[in-house]
Structure 1
Amino acid sequence: MTIKGFKNHPYIPNSVPEVQKQMLQEIGLENLEDLHAEIPDALKLKENMALPPALAAEYELRRHIEKILRKNHSGKDHLIFLGGGCWPHYVPAICDEINSRGEFLTGYAGEAYNDHGRFQTLFEYQSMVAELVDMEVVNVPTMDWAQAAATSMRMAGRMTKRSQVLVPSLMDPEKLKAIRNYCDPTLEIVSLKHHPQTGQIDLMDLQEKLSDSTAAVYFENPGYLGFFEEQGEGISKIAKEAGALTIVGVDPSSLGIIAPPSQYGADIICGELQPLGIHMHYGGGLSGFIATRDEEAFVMQYPSRLFGIAPTTHEGEYGFGDVSYNRTSFGDLRENANEYVGTQTSLWAITAGVYLAAMGPKGMQELGETILQRVLYTMDRMKEIPGVKLSPLQSSVFKEFVVDFNHTGKTVSEINEALRKHHIFGGKDLSEEFPSLGQCALYCVTEIHNREDIDQLVNAIKTIVGKEG
Structure 2
Amino acid sequence: MSARVPRTHPYIPNSAPDVRAAMLAAIGARGVEEFYADIPAALRLRRPLELPEPLRSEAELTAHLEELLARNTAVPPGRSFLGAGCYRHHVPAVVDEVVNRSEFLTAYAGEPYEDHGRFQALWEYQSLMAELLAVEVVNVPTYDGFQAAATALRMAGRATGRHRLVLVGEIDPDRLSRIHDYVRGVHELVPVPAEPAAVRAALADGDAAAVYAQLTDFSGRIDPELPDYIELAHAAGALAVVHANPLSLGVLAPPADLGADLTCGDLQPLGIHPSFGGGNAGFIGSPDEPRLVAEYPSRLFGLVPTEVPGEYGFGDVAYERTSFALREEGKEWVGTAAALHGIAAGVYLALMGPHGMREIGETVLATTAYARQRLAEVPGVDLADPGAVHFADFTLRYTGGRTAAEIAAALLERGLHGGTPAGEHEGRYCVTELHTRADIEHLATALEEIVK
Deviations 1:200-251 (A, max 9, x none): x211121111032011111111111111111222222221111111111000
Q: 3-state DSSP class of the match of 1:424?
A: coil
Taking a change above 3 Å as real, the CA distance of residues 208 and 100 of structure 1, as seen in their structure-2 partners, is same
**In the TM superposition, what is the alpha-carbon distance from 1:279 to its structure 2 partner?**
1.1
CA gap 1:423/1:105 in 2 versus in 1, 3 angstroms:
same
- 1:84–1:428: 8 Å Cα contact kept in structure 2? no
Instruction: Identify the residue that residue 88 of structure 2 maps to in structure 1.
Output: 88
Mapping of residues 117-266 of structure 1, within 5 Å: 117-193=117-193, 201-210=194-203, 211-266=205-260
How far residue 166 of structure 1 moved from its aligned partner, in angstroms, is: 0.7
Q: Are positions 1:417 and 2:418 aligned together?
A: no
Deviation at 1:460, TM superposition (A): 0.7
Runs of 4+ deviating beyond 6 Å: none
Cross-structure match for 2:291: 297
SS at structure 1 position matched to 2:288: coil
User: What amino acid sits opposite 1:337 in the alignment?
Assistant: G
The 3-state SS of whatever aligns with 2:291 is helix
- Partners in 1 of 2:77 and 2:235 — Cα distance? 52
CA distance in 2, matches of 1:340, 1:182: 11
Over 3 Å counting, the alpha-carbon distance change for 1:312 and 1:421 in structure 2 is same
Match of 1:196 in 2: none
Instruction: Map Cα deviations across residues 408-435 of structure 1 (whole Å, 9 max, x no partner).
Output: 110111011111111111122111xxxx
Post-superposition Cα deviations, 1:347-370, rounded to whole Å, max 9, x if no partner, equal 111111111111111111111111
Would you say the 8 A contact 1:78–1:425 is kept in 2? no
Coordinate RMSD, CA, aligned: 2.5
Deviation of the 1:120 alpha carbon:
0.2
Distance 1:274 1:77 in 2: 16
Say whether 1:326 aligns with 2:326: no
Change (3 A) 1:140 1:77: closer
State the 1:27 CA deviation: 4.3
**Cα 1:182/1:8, change in 2 over 3 Å:** closer
The alpha-carbon distance between structure 1 residues 159 and 55, as it changes in their structure 2 partners (threshold 3 A), is: same
Measured in 2, the distance between the counterparts of 1:449 and 1:380 equals 15
C-alpha distance in 1, partners of 2:9/2:289?
Answer: 56
The answer on 1:452 being equivalent to 2:438 is yes
Cα distance in 1 for residues equivalent to 2:180 and 2:53: 41
AA matched with 1:121:
A
SS in 1 for 2:250: coil
Q: Is the 8 A contact 1:227 1:394 kept in 2?
A: no
Distance in structure 1 (CA, Å) of the matches to 2:77 and 2:202: 48
1:374-422 deviation digits (Å, cap 9, x = unpaired): 11221121122111000126511111111001x1110111011111111
Q: Deviations over 1:266-286 (max 9, x none)?
A: 111001100011111024311
CA drift at 1:335: 2.2
Unaligned runs of 5+ in 2: 1-6, 38-43
- Find the partner of 1:442 among 419, 428, 443: 428
Compare 457-466 and 76-85 and name the one that shifted more. Answer: 76-85
Q: Kindly state the Cα deviation for residue 336 of structure 1 after the two structures are TM-superposed.
A: 2.4
- More deviation, 127-136/231-240: 231-240
Equivalent-residue separation in structure 2 for 1:159 and 1:37 (angstroms): 33
Structure 2 Cα separation of the partners of residues 182 and 75 of structure 1: 36
CA contact (8 A) 2:169 2:213 kept: no
Q: Which TM-score applies when normalising by structure 2?
A: 0.90
* TM-score, structure 1 as length reference: 0.87
Contact 2:392 2:431 in 1 (8 A): yes
Give the structure 1 partner of residue 364 of structure 2.
371
8 Å CA contact retained: 2:214, 2:226: no
Q: Tell me the distance in 2 between the aligned counterparts of 1:234 and 1:21.
A: 60
Find the aligned partners of 1:292 and 1:37 in 2 and give their Cα distance: 39
CA 1:28/1:355 → structure 2, altered by over 3 Å: closer, same or farther? closer
Give the secondary structure class of the aligned counterpart of 1:460: helix
Q: How does 1:110-121 map to 2 (within 5 A)?
A: 110-113=110-113, 115=115, 117-121=117-121
* Counterpart residue number, 1:463: 449
Query: Number of residue pairs matched?
Result: 435
Identity of aligned residues (%): 44
Q: Secondary structure at the match of 2:68?
A: helix
